[in-house]
With several copies, the nearest count.
Chain A
């Protein structure tokens, strides 16, 4: 029998309240759309505020300049970010933090706590979600390692000061901790979520000291767990956001003399999305509870990811449809959520992928 524990601390409560207000205020949809046109896709002033609020160091131990809380608290502030379509480098940095912590590589944590932008580079051209499926390599040359290969889908690569890139050393997966600048190595990619910035990173020719390589497999698990949890947090927020947009439209638009929200084909679909939202949030906070307690969260995380990403992708699709002609236009916000939903669905494994893994975990091979 799976645990059904959910804990929610006073700190989380306060963080959530702060984050809800902050995101609502700093990320109205007009701001989101304005940033979509810019190069970096986020507002450095808002980022500085987030750093000043201490969010970048939430999960970093106090001795490295953080507040010594954990991933559960990080997820708590990410949920409202997802709701308001914020796309700062916060999530990519927090994923890196977890990998660094698990890998025992503490040197860069103080900088990240201060607001230095960090990210991970763990995917390659064939789009395989298996983090151990790595073509890029590190080879020893004296006390240095020489890197080779190309990573893709590196979020916020264009502004990152710190990148954790997965490579193979002597056949085993490892994380190379790279410090910028990466000028000339980062190439912008076009991705479905236009509020995001993604890059490919050419590693070939880079040399790093041997000490900059994390070989502890725990780092990969921590990276994956953080990526899944925060992706679910974003998605859960996103479902709530797109449901708001949709319900609002259905309550205002009239057709054939009735508010369209009175038609069962639309209202029942919204009820189903609400049900999905409730289940997704429950999975989210349960997985966060396990992560926060450093318990094995693999089943909880994969369940949460499968549930939330399917619900969000469907909610985005329905939102476009239910806005009718307006939904087909760029000006309708439904498409922004649909794009975000698809990004999240296909990052770190889609629902079908996680269900297959869950089948092996829960039902045996």
Chain B
């Protein structure tokens, strides 16, 4: 790794020097929480700047706007961004899902058309998997794509579309074979969001902010070259997309996709915040709780490391990946709920209050933490998955 020592120093210096000024509004913690034009433009400009400096898509092909460099260099950049806690890059679906997929199975023309603008944040991407009545059961997709000459006609609705108001393209899972059931008969499209008949409607979150949309398709006609792969391969390609998201097979453009409050931030909060007239970190009960969270967090980090060692996972190979969401989402919800209590009476303040600790970010983060305990399969469903698919217990 010493060959990159110089590069590492250069990167550290660049981010130190180029970090954008702290805005006078609260930044979101991930692309899923971008809810205002202000937030969006700030983050988009930041992504563009990083890409122009050559620190995004470093391992992607040069001819499409990437850097053609080793992945190791992008890893160094990512680590440095996390270390310096700079803002995240917002085009997450483009950088981590659509981009890798197009590079993997797209035509040269598609690569030409999409990749560079993903990196520069010129084209924002969003994702159309979840539907209003199906929660996270993708196989129950009912949005239809009906072939009509050289086009498909889209009808249906998607929900929980992050960046839906800003996106130029959507990756969409729709049913092309009428009457088909479950995984069969689904197809995968790259859909231009400006198509007539596509309408987005912002959803107001429990925090009072926006940040998701519902997307309606009413006889929206898209060219048939929007289809990725073949008709009926939608499920397969969606699963491939999710692999990219999970970073299992790499291919992501890099950057950091979130800047979320974690257990170490909570320890810092406990040092600064006061309860009962003293720093919260001096309270024996708060200390015990902080240590519980530290043990749990370290347990999950170690579990990720152990997951790479076959000799230590062979008995139940799916235990670690299938329990990951359950472990981390519930940890985070409880952590943030606890973090409020560190602040004494000031815990009851909210975003925008002059006395709220860090602008009310902790309160917002607790409320937003439900997006992970609910979205993508609730905790209750995740528990079922672990119990049934890892432990072999019977279905409900």
Question: Hey, which bits of chain A sit against chain B, CB under 8 A?
Answer: 1-2, 4-6, 8, 12-13, 16, 123, 125-130, 133, 152-153, 189-194, 200, 240, 243, 247, 250-251, 255-256, 258-259, 261-268, 270-272, 274-275, 278-283, 285-286, 303, 306-307, 313, 317, 320-321, 324-325, 327-332, 334-335, 338, 342-343, 345-347, 350, 352-353, 355-356, 358-359, 362-364
Q: Is B380 a contact partner of A264 (Cβ separation < 8 A)?
A: yes
Contact indicator A356/B347 (Cβ below 8 Å): no
Query: What's the minimum C-beta distance from A23 to chain B, rounded to whole angstroms?
Result: 14
Q: Nearest Cβ distance between residue B323 and chain A, in whole angstroms?
A: 5
Q: What is the distance, in angstroms, from A232's C-beta to the closest C-beta of chain B?
A: 12
B9 close to chain A: CB less than 8 A: no
In the complex, chain A residues whose CB is within 8 Å of the CB of B135: 255, 324-325
Flag the segment in B96-104, B251-259, B303-311 that touches A: B303-311
Q: B294 is contacted by which of A271, A327, A362 (Cβ under 8 Å)?
A: A362
Partner of B393, one of A125, A255, A270: A270
Q: Does B290 contact A194, Cβ atoms closer than 8 Å?
A: no
Q: Are B387 and A307 in contact, CB atoms less than 8 angstroms apart?
A: no
> Are A329 and B306 within 8 A (Cβ)?
no
Do A279 and B348 touch (CB < 8 A)? Answer: no
B-side contacts of A1, CB under 8 Å: 264
Residue of A nearest to B264 (CB): A1
The interface on chain B, measured as residues whose beta carbon lies within 8 A of the other chain's beta carbons, has a size of 89
In the bound assembly, the distance between CA atoms of A258 and B393 in angstroms comes to: 12
Contact for A275 among B159, B290, B327, B348, CB less than 8 A: B327
Within the complex, the shortest CB–CB distance from B341 to chain A, in Å, comes to 6
Asked if B144 is an interface residue, CB under 8 A from chain A, the answer is no
* Cβ 8 A contact of A189, one of B305, B347, B355: B355
Asked if A330 meets B208 with Cβ closer than 8 Å, knowing A133-B277, A192-B349, A266-B380, the reply is: yes
Question: Is there contact, CB below 8 Å, between A274 and B319?
Answer: yes
Residues of B close to A364: CB separation below 8 A? 281
Query: In the complex the two chains form, is A274's CB within 8 Å of B386's CB?
Result: yes
Given contacts A130-B276, A275-B323, A331-B204, contact A320 B290 (CB under 8 A): no
Given known contacts A191-B350, A328-B205, A285 and B274 CB-to-CB distance under 8 angstroms: no
A-chain residues with CB within 8 Å of residue B392 when the two chains form the complex = 247, 251
User: Could you tell me if B275 and A363 are in contact, using CB atoms closer than 8 angstroms?
Assistant: no
Which 10 pairs across A and B sit closest by C-beta, in order of nearness?
A: A279-B299, A127-B344, A282-B302, A127-B346, A330-B204, A190-B353, A127-B345, A267-B387, A359-B287, A335-B206
Inter-subunit contact A268/B300 (CB<8 Å): no
Q: Hey, which chain B residues are within 8 Å of A280, CB to CB? A: 299
Which residues on B are within 8 Å of A, measured CB to CB? Answer: 132, 135, 159-160, 203-206, 208, 264, 267, 270, 274-277, 281, 283-288, 290-292, 294-296, 298-306, 309, 311-312, 315-316, 319-320, 323, 326-327, 333, 337, 340-341, 343-356, 360, 363, 367, 370-371, 373-375, 378-380, 383-384, 386-388, 390-396
Q: Which residues of B contact A320 (CB under 8 A)?
A: 206, 370
Tell me the complex Cα distance, A283–B315, Å. 17
Cβ contacts under 8 Å, A16 to chain B: 311
Name the residue on B nearest A247 (C-beta).
Answer: B391
The chain B residue sitting closest to A280, CB to CB, is B299
Task: Contacts A271-B323, A355-B295, A363-B291 known; list 8 others, CB within 8 Å.
Answer: A12-B311, A130-B276, A153-B348, A189-B355, A261-B394, A262-B396, A271-B384, A363-B290
Tell me the bound Cα distance from A261 to B208 in angstroms. Answer: 28
Chain A contacts for B379, CB-based, 8 A: 321
Closest chain B CB from A327 CB (angstroms): 6
For A133, the chain B residues whose CB sits under 8 A away are 277
User: What residues on A are CB-neighbors of B344 within 8 Å?
Assistant: 126-129, 346
Complex Cα gap A74–B270 (Å): 38
CB distance from B364 to the nearest CB of A (A): 10
Flag if B387 contacts A263 (CB, 8 Å): no
B373 touches A321 (CB 8 A): yes
Q: A353 and B276: CB pair below 8 A?
A: yes
Partner of A332, one of B206, B315, B346, B393: B206
Asked if A282 and B290 sit within 8 Å, CB to CB, the answer is: no
**B316 CB to nearest A CB, Å:** 8
Residues of B within 8 Å of A331, CB to CB, are: 204
A190 touching B380 by the CB < 8 A rule? no
Residue in B298, B311, B396 whose Cβ sees the most chain A Cβ within 10 Å = B298
A250 and B393 contacting across the interface, CB-CB below 8 Å: yes
The reply to whether B311 and A259 contact each other, CB–CB distance below 8 Å, is no
B371: nearest chain-A partner, CB-CB: A328
- Residues of chain A lying within 8 A (CB to CB) of residue B132: 325
**Are B309 and A8 neighbours in the complex by a CB distance under 8 Å?**
yes
Find out whether the CB atom of B346 lies under 8 angstroms from the CB atom of A283: no
Which of A267, A278, A306, A342 touches B383 (beta carbons < 8 Å)?
A267
A274 to B306: give the CA distance in the assembly, Å. Answer: 15
Verify A328–B274 contact, CB threshold 8 A: no
Smallest CB separation, A181 vs chain B (Å): 22
A251 touches B206 (CB 8 A): no
Residue of A nearest to B356 (CB): A190
CB distance from B201 to the nearest CB of A (A): 12
